[in-house]
Amino acid sequence: MGKADSPATASGQSSTDLLIIGGGVMGLWAAVKAERLGIRTTLVDTGGLGQGASYGLVGALMPHMPDKWNEKKQFQFDALVALEDEVARLEAETGMSCGYNRCGRLIPLPKPHLADIARRHSEDAETQWLAGDRQFHWHVLEKTPHPQWLDTSIGEAGVVLDTLAGRASPRRFGAALVAALKQARSVRLIENNGVMRLGEDEAVLADGSRIAFGHAIVANGHQAFPLLESLGTPMVRPLGMPVKGQSALLSADVDIDLPVIFLKSLYVVPHEGGTVAIGSTSEEAFDDPSSTDGQLDVLIARAREISPMLADAPVVERWAGLRPKAIDRDPMIGRHPDHARILSLAGGFKVSFGLAHKLADAVLDELAGKPMAVPPSFLLENHLTVARGAA
Ligand SMILES: Cc1cc2nc3c(=O)[nH]c(=O)nc-3n(C[C@H](O)[C@H](O)[C@H](O)COP(=O)(O)OP(=O)(O)OC[C@H]3O[C@@H](n4cnc5c(N)ncnc54)[C@H](O)[C@@H]3O)c2cc1C
């Protein structure tokens, strides 16, 4: 008998208070938070835990620009600030490292007018990037502070150094979340047996067994969109789509405190263990979700151009995965308006690692009948309205 399950009957039926569907960074955080609340939970995954899009290489934790402040930016800011303590707690509970570092971010400014805009952003950051007595900055520098990391010729008009951004190792982070769950008292883990059919209060798994649930959290990455659509609501457009991303890992003995470099769509992210991640392509059309190709070669070549330290760094891994992009682009969170027991925790697209812990809290608040503090554009209800063609 599983620790969070009622015994399966002869027909293969069991029950749980909370069923979490999908064990990527979203579902894993939800399960860790549910365990802390003592909720009898079952987490199921089609494959292995943490092996979907969350098994990536990049792990940049990138704040929105500090200008035109709004609820969405505040939510992400709060999440990024809180992540430091969340990681510290997880690492203390498991004895494992998440490869987390608030290392900051360098953004080269190729044109003079961009330096003027950056100076205005700098003032915005002084007002908005404030958490208690902690102030984060958007410094505008005349030139790169790390010329071997970011070449002096890049950023003719200067460079921004923001002190809020950071990075984590997606794989180490996922492994720490899984380790926390392996020692959990109220969470049962089921791998290699995904949900094939989701009903009002029961899910049917791939092996034909059934799990009756009090509530279900749909957290299965880009596959959350068809699963939520299967609940029967007529849609004019799909609730979301997978967007392929390619990335690479280079071997380079760099200082782990160096900032992330961000230049247009290129991310260069230093990690522990003498590695640097390069990302990422953004492909809405693709034949093979897991292959890499010349588009990644272009990114690697660009990274070598801008970073002298990477000129000869060998590529040790090439990796591709599918990001979950919801129809209205923002995360897709909260109770289904027509199916009260079913909640969504999906659509993190390019920023899941910085938000998942806080989104999981929000969904568990909703489940407990408390107000769910997320921006209105994050609500599943909002995305459904768009997909139904009513907005
Ligand atoms: C190249 C690349 C670079 C990226 N860079 C960054 C970055 O720098 N920073 C950042 O924050 N984010 C980044 N992302 C995005 C981030 O990786 C994703 O947003 C995040 O991993 C999504 O997490 P998830 O838990 O929603 O989905 P996933 O990690 O995909 O997890 C979904 C899980 O659900 C399981 N599943 C699917 N269907 C079922 C079913 N029917 N029943 C049970 N289980 C099921 C899958 O097996 C999988 O384990 C990047 C993504 C890519 C591809």
Q: How do the domains of the chain map onto residue ranges? A: 13-55+172-240+328-387, 90-167+242-324
**pLDDT surpasses 90 at 154:** yes
Atom of ligand 1 nearest to the CA of 47: 47
Q: Is 51 left (phi over 0), alpha (psi -120 to 50) or beta?
A: alpha
Give the mean model confidence (pLDDT) for residues 61-78.
Answer: 97
175 C-alpha vs ligand 1 centroid, how far in Å? 14
**pLDDT surpasses 80 at 88:** yes
Hey, what are 374's tokens?
């997320």
> What phi and psi values does residue 123 have, to the nearest 5 degrees?
-65, -40
Q: How far apart are CA 252 and CA 271, in angstroms?
A: 10
Hey, what are 19's tokens?
């069923």
CB of 354 shorter than 6 A to ligand 1: yes
Summarised one tens digit per residue, pLDDT across range 293-303 is 999 999 999 99
Question: What's the Cα-to-Cα distance from 17 to each of 10, 183, 326, 341, 367, rounded to whole Å?
Answer: 20, 19, 27, 10, 11
CB of 176 shorter than 6 A to ligand 1: no
pLDDT for the residue numbered 66: 98
CB of 42 shorter than 6 A to ligand 1: no
129 C-alpha vs ligand 1 centroid, how far in Å? 28
pLDDT for the residue numbered 132: 96
**pLDDT surpasses 70 at 331:** yes
Q: Which CATH fold topology does 13-55+172-240+328-387 show?
A: FAD/NAD(P)-binding domain (3.50.50)
SS3 for 117? helix
CB of 247 shorter than 6 A to ligand 1: yes
Summarised one tens digit per residue, pLDDT across range 252-284 is 999 999 999 999 999 999 999 999 999 999 999
| Cβ neighbourhood burial of 369 (10 Å; 0-12, 13-18, 19+) | exposed
CB of 362 shorter than 6 A to ligand 1: no
Give the mean model confidence (pLDDT) for residues 3-9.
Answer: 56
Correct CATH for 90-167+242-324 of 3.40.630.30, 3.40.50.720, 3.30.9.10, 3.40.30.10: 3.30.9.10
Summarised one tens digit per residue, pLDDT across range 304-323 is 999 999 999 999 999 999 99
Residue with CA at minimum distance from ligand 1 atom 31: 24
Summarised one tens digit per residue, pLDDT across range 155-199 is 999 999 999 999 999 999 999 999 999 999 999 999 999 999 999
CB of 296 shorter than 6 A to ligand 1: no
Q: How far apart are CA 247 and CA 377, in angstroms?
A: 29
- 208-211-217 Cα angle (round to 5): 120
How many CB atoms within 10 Å of residue 73?
18
pLDDT for the residue numbered 233: 75
Residue with CA at minimum distance from ligand 1 atom 21: 54
Q: Do domains 13-55+172-240+328-387 and 90-167+242-324 have the same CATH topology?
A: no
**pLDDT surpasses 50 at 2:** no
Residue with CA at minimum distance from ligand 1 atom 15: 350
> What phi and psi values does residue 321 have, to the nearest 5 degrees?
-150, 175
Q: Which residues lie closer than 8 Å to 64 by C-beta, 6 or more apart?
A: 72, 73, 76, 77
CB of 348 shorter than 6 A to ligand 1: yes
Atom of ligand 1 nearest to the CA of 196: 41
Give the mean model confidence (pLDDT) for residues 88-93.
Answer: 98
Please report, rounded to a whole number, the percentage of residues in the chain having pLDDT higher than 70: 97
Ligand 1, pocket-test mutation among 55, 61, 323, 343, most atoms within 8 A of CB: 323
pLDDT for the residue numbered 266: 98
CB of 220 shorter than 6 A to ligand 1: yes
pLDDT for the residue numbered 391: 62
**pLDDT surpasses 60 at 5:** no
CB-CB contact of 233 with 344 (8 Å): no
CB-CB contact of 128 with 73 (8 Å): yes
Q: Which residues lie closer than 8 Å to 210 by C-beta, 6 or more apart?
A: 11, 12, 13, 14, 202, 203, 204
Tell me the pLDDT band of 8, cut-offs 50, 70 and 90.
Answer: low
**pLDDT surpasses 70 at 10:** no
**pLDDT surpasses 50 at 327:** yes
Give the mean model confidence (pLDDT) for residues 324-347.
Answer: 97
